[in-house]
Structure 1
């Protein structure tokens, strides 16, 4: 049964052991557990070796040396933090004496900043005033040019274009439009010299007022600039005084604080590095402990498996008995005269003919192979009937035992011996077994022991089973299961 299938071969052997009680679920579960523990042990061992190689490459110190180094670094860090705290306390006391001067300096700096903002605002306002004055001057200049042009050009009527010198008298132009630009002519009131003079006077007055405001804003800017200079001078003076007071007292302490802070930071970095290495050592110890635990579990499982296997070892004699019965069955059926011995391999539970594997018989003819197959199956069937603790099924179905045999006298005689053996089993064990033989012809020996069902093209089905018809696409047994439900 699939003994040549690489995947099915272990399952077939385990099935045989289960039927004969050579193993049980406990042994199989322990074997599965041992395989799982083997994989886990290999993985954990590889992980432990990787961590060990990393530690050896990263730092040659041992875990004990790292622990001592870590304790020393923490003690040094505590002393550095204490010294840093003392320096900061001294600095805080010295800074209290300079609080008044620092407050004056902050006020002077704030005053200088506010004065600078006032200067910027005054400059922006002055620039706006200058723009207004410039615009009025431009408007006044434009008015002067326009009045001069009106005064000079209004008495003239152009008969030619002043640009291209073409005549204009033949040009159709409305009466109230200019002959040159074709724009509507302004009314006489618009070019009145009195109106122009009035506009000129208004612009001159606006210019005078704007210049006065500009002068006032310039004075404001000058005053703001003077305040900036005074505030900057005061701030520089106070800063020099503060620097002179703190140069000999505060600056050295700042340097000491910076040095102490740098040392504390270096110590903390060293502590982190050593702690990380110790974490790897802790991981290595945890992995090593896991390896030891797996080995202990594997040892316990191996011991349990050996103990249970030893309990079942007494049943190995069943295979010897089965081998002896198989030899007797082959001797009765006589597949071939050159067969001297037939045994059961205790490792594979497969037939051995003359000490050789079953596969070596394939070239000796299908009838011999079929006979040995039948002998092997009948031996198992009878052994299961005579041994109640052997779980071999009491049903045996043999498909076409004479199909592979020849038609000569020896082949026919071999077939009769097989059927005589079937008859003997049926008569001996009666309803305790069930034999179903699907053959190409009826039994070669006359006997009332065999019940016969003949199948042909007219009656191809077992009586009581309806023919599904040519369009049938499902199994008949499935249909009967559905009906029973």
Structure 2
């Protein structure tokens, strides 16, 4: 997929960097901010923000071309995972997004990282954090992981392959990204492997549990299921016999004689009478309470009527001859139907006679209620006395029944205790037998589940083996990758090691091998730079010729001449490396963009200088006063004028 950075601006400053198709260079002194520029480019492409202090909190705005669509991206350089990033399509559909940087938030269905992955049409996958650990959680493959093969960082270019030796998790991701890019990672097969891991884990747990149970049962009386079933059958039969004997013994108590039966009948009748009286007592108590509440309400109503009558006599019979407001005399005015003071018709109020009649009626109700309360109270007292008498009668009958049955119970007590003890022993033994059989049932269930899992495991292995058939397209891609890697090294005139001529990528680790030497054994920082550049360039060579490889077509190389040397044969190798990169970028100028940073100017012509930095013209422009101070520190004023 074509990916091109056209422009990046440091918002709030005059710094704008424009990039051309093909090969671009950012040059300048070591303190100018070249690596800081690369950090801004990585942040623009969805990586985590990791910038120098003077850039923290600032905002960058960049224009990128993804395929045939152009986007404007604005991002604040903060490490907060939910910081918002704004994206707007410059042409075409003119879509607009506002997304959290890397952590999904409520109300959003994607992050800035997800947007980049979808824009580049990269697969959305999650892979085990530790492939060899069955309990390892799945982690998503992010845009930073996919761009691993597109960015060579300064701190890694001359020491490692993408900084993976000291980062186990990153190395695992690197392998998965390689397999995804080149078709070695089959999502269907990956799903089968994930299921196989789950099945294997469950199978191991069940097998271990079953082995433990078998060892426990082997040393107990529950070792034989057949013996347990026979013993359980005999125990159930014996227990049924004992229970029948218990029923017979306890049933005989009711056959102690007519006196006992009569006493039991009288006790039953007495208990029924007690229940009836208790119900009546409760109802009468409720009635008394209700009557007392009614009595209180009637008393309160009578008092209110009394106050109304008093107020009618004392407060309404006034003839105002002097105004209560101003003290002036009030002349006779109005008629018998109006108030002489306000000349309004008084409201219709009940006549004092009607209030008095109502008070008499309430007083009668109070008297009737008091009589009802007295009658209910007497009835309640009678019921309580009857309840106490019946309760005492029930106690007396119980005492008589106890005396009547004590002789027979004494005779039967020993036999009842013996039968009860035997019944308890048999029930306990039956429970132990059931526990043993439950363990055997659990073992049988585990055996069935183990057999089911083993069948599923075998089926999954067969399906996984079927997906491992030789894929000619994948084999051809890997062959072309080896050829491109070898060709890139030869075009750089990289040093040869004569033990095993020929360079390739290890098919297990996917790490570069140079003439039989693994990357870790090169022991030369300059050679490691050449190998790293040849490695990423080889991937671009293959991806540019195979549309099925979803590698973004961009290369960012920070510190391309690190430890390569700038004299003699080393300088010639540096020129050849630049020439190979320029040739590839020119050949695929519409599809591949290469951005390199270097302390020195490119040793060949034809490379677009996107930015030139210095100690006085850094990435973050200094205010004029600070720039003048820096220039004064660098040399005398006369030299400044000459420059």
TM interval, shorter chain, is: 0.5 to 0.7
How far off its partner does 1:263 sit? 2.2
Pick from 459, 466, 481 the counterpart of residue 617 of structure 2: 459
Structure 1: gaps (5+ residues): 104-234, 471-485
Whether 2:242 is the aligned partner of 1:80: answer yes
Contact 1:80 1:264 survives alignment (8 Å) = yes
Contact 1:351 1:357 survives alignment (8 Å) = yes
Whether 2:464 is the aligned partner of 1:305: answer yes
Per the alignment, residue 546 of structure 2 pairs with: 387
Q: Distance in 1 between matches of 2:532 and 2:211?
A: 54
Note closer, same or farther for the CA distance 1:255–1:409 as it changes in structure 2 (3 Å cut).
Answer: same
Contact 2:485 2:503 survives alignment (8 Å) = yes
How far off its partner does 1:430 sit? 1.0
Whether 2:431 is the aligned partner of 1:272: answer yes
How far off its partner does 1:252 sit? 5.8
Secondary structure in 1 matching 2:422: helix
Pick from 356, 364, 367 the counterpart of residue 517 of structure 2: 356
Q: Distance in 2 between matches of 1:299 and 1:313?
A: 27
How far off its partner does 1:251 sit? 6.2
Pick from 427, 437, 440 the counterpart of residue 596 of structure 2: 437
Q: Distance in 2 between matches of 1:309 and 1:357?
A: 27
Pick from 188, 191, 197 the counterpart of residue 35 of structure 1: 197
Contact 1:102 1:242 survives alignment (8 Å) = no
Which structure 2 residues correspond to residues 110-129 of structure 1 after superposition, within 5 A? Answer: none
Q: Which has the higher contact order (CA 8 A, sep 6+)?
A: 2
Q: Distance in 1 between matches of 2:439 and 2:197?
A: 29
TM superposition score normalised by structure 2 = 0.46
Per the alignment, residue 506 of structure 2 pairs with: 345
Secondary structure in 1 matching 2:612: coil
How far off its partner does 1:284 sit? 2.4
Q: Distance in 2 between matches of 1:320 and 1:397?
A: 25
- Name the count of aligned residue pairs: 325
Per the alignment, residue 55 of structure 1 pairs with: 217
Per the alignment, residue 179 of structure 1 pairs with: none
Whether 2:444 is the aligned partner of 1:282: answer no
Which structure 2 residues correspond to residues 44-443 of structure 1 after superposition, within 5 A? Answer: 44-93=206-255, 95-96=256-257, 99=260, 253-310=412-469, 315-338=474-497, 340-362=501-523, 365-443=524-602
Secondary structure in 1 matching 2:611: coil
Q: Distance in 1 between matches of 2:440 and 2:572?
A: 80
Note closer, same or farther for the CA distance 1:259–1:302 as it changes in structure 2 (3 Å cut).
Answer: same
Note closer, same or farther for the CA distance 1:101–1:12 as it changes in structure 2 (3 Å cut).
Answer: closer
Pick from 156, 171, 178 the counterpart of residue 9 of structure 1: 171
Contact 1:423 1:450 survives alignment (8 Å) = no
How far off its partner does 1:403 sit? 2.5
Contact 1:342 1:354 survives alignment (8 Å) = yes
Note closer, same or farther for the CA distance 1:366–1:273 as it changes in structure 2 (3 Å cut).
Answer: closer
How far off its partner does 1:26 sit? 2.8
Structure with max Cα Rg: 1
Secondary structure in 1 matching 2:596: strand
Note closer, same or farther for the CA distance 1:100–1:302 as it changes in structure 2 (3 Å cut).
Answer: closer
How far off its partner does 1:329 sit? 1.8
Secondary structure in 1 matching 2:555: strand
How far off its partner does 1:78 sit? 1.4
Q: Which has the higher helix share?
A: 1
Moved more, 20-29 or 381-390: 20-29
Secondary structure in 1 matching 2:195: helix
Q: Distance in 1 between matches of 2:473 and 2:444?
A: 44
Note closer, same or farther for the CA distance 1:342–1:242 as it changes in structure 2 (3 Å cut).
Answer: closer
Note closer, same or farther for the CA distance 1:13–1:101 as it changes in structure 2 (3 Å cut).
Answer: closer
Q: Distance in 1 between matches of 2:252 and 2:221?
A: 41
Q: Distance in 2 between matches of 1:433 and 1:61?
A: 74
Q: Distance in 1 between matches of 2:616 and 2:231?
A: 98
Q: Distance in 2 between matches of 1:285 and 1:370?
A: 63
Note the aligned Cα RMSD (angstroms): 3.2
